Amino acid sequence: MNKETKPIEAKNLTCSLGGCEILSGINFTVEKGKFYSIIGPNGSGKTTLLRTIAAAVKPESGELLIDNISVCGLKEKELARKLSYVSQNTNSDVDFNVLDYVLMGRYPYLGLLQREGENDLAYARRSMEITNTWYLREKKLDEISGGERQRVVAARALTQDTPIILLDEPISQLDIHHQVELMDTLDSMVEKHGITVVAVLHDLNMASQYSDFIILINKGKAVKCGSPDEVLSKDIILEVYDMEVQILKNPETDKPLIIPSKYRKRRL
């Protein structure tokens, strides 16, 4: 990757679903080897933005580039070698056992009718040990809890071994222990292996502590892009979330720590 190449770049991106405009004139650039969070109120367009990056939604206008190439111009396996995508919905009706499901992350590297080999199994085991799911390997997907399934889906994304990982609310079904465990894992991959992570998060404090940069979306527009200190101010949170907060500094990370105060009193 040359110096001018950016893993992800959105240029005046506009997207509509069912005739309704969801994203309007979105512009941002993602740097290699950084952790980005996409935050914003419910219905603001966060998931649509992530799905557009993953080529699951086609832009109505503007461009979405992966390594300076339009995402619409990449073939399925080409894209699958560049990025892995963990969707919000981890429910599955398929009758796979967990290990076979995680091994499906290796499909971009296999030829037609080629079976997974020892190297692929090694990738899967490493990813499952990282996400603390190896003990589930012989269970069926429909036999494990929602939180366990969420970690299994993350293991499949890690097994895909891509330079970009996209995650839509990856910790929404996890208890606090597994939330921190997964976020620490992603953070370690960014720091040690130069992976680029883009995650939709609802928890502003998680976004603050783990992100290098935050993209704040509201009503389909990118309101603010920058460091946690730049994005998570009292005035911006009040304007976007209609919530008064206190902002402290986390003594361990020196990043903003957000404490809800009270709901903004609306004028009648």
pLDDT of 1:
42
Q: What residue ranges in the chain does DSSP mark as E strands?
A: 8-17, 20-30, 35-39, 61-66, 69-70, 83-86, 164-168, 196-200, 213-218, 221-226, 243-249, 256-263
pLDDT of 92:
60
- For the stretch 75-98, pLDDT in tens is 999 999 999 998 877 666 567 899
Whole-number mean pLDDT of the chain?
A: 90
- For the stretch 39-67, pLDDT in tens is 999 999 999 999 999 999 999 999 999 99
Class of domain 8-263 as given by CATH: alpha beta
- For the stretch 14-34, pLDDT in tens is 999 988 999 999 999 999 999
Q: Comparing C-alpha atoms, which of 156, 86, 153 is closest to residue 126? A: 156
- Sorting pLDDT into bands at 50, 70 and 90, what band is 235? very high
pLDDT of 172:
87
- For the stretch 144-195, pLDDT in tens is 988 888 889 889 999 999 999 999 999 988 899 989 988 998 998 899 889 9
pLDDT of 268:
45
Largest CA distance in the chain: 66
Contact 38, 198 (CB under 8 A): yes
Domain residue spans of the chain: 8-263
Indicate whether 3 pLDDT > 80: no
Burial class for 165, CB neighbours closer than 10 Å (0-12, 13-18, 19+): buried
Residues contacting 161, CB < 8 A, separation 6+: 105, 123
pLDDT of 142:
87
pLDDT > 90 fraction of the chain, expressed in percent and rounded: 72
Indicate whether 265 pLDDT > 90: no
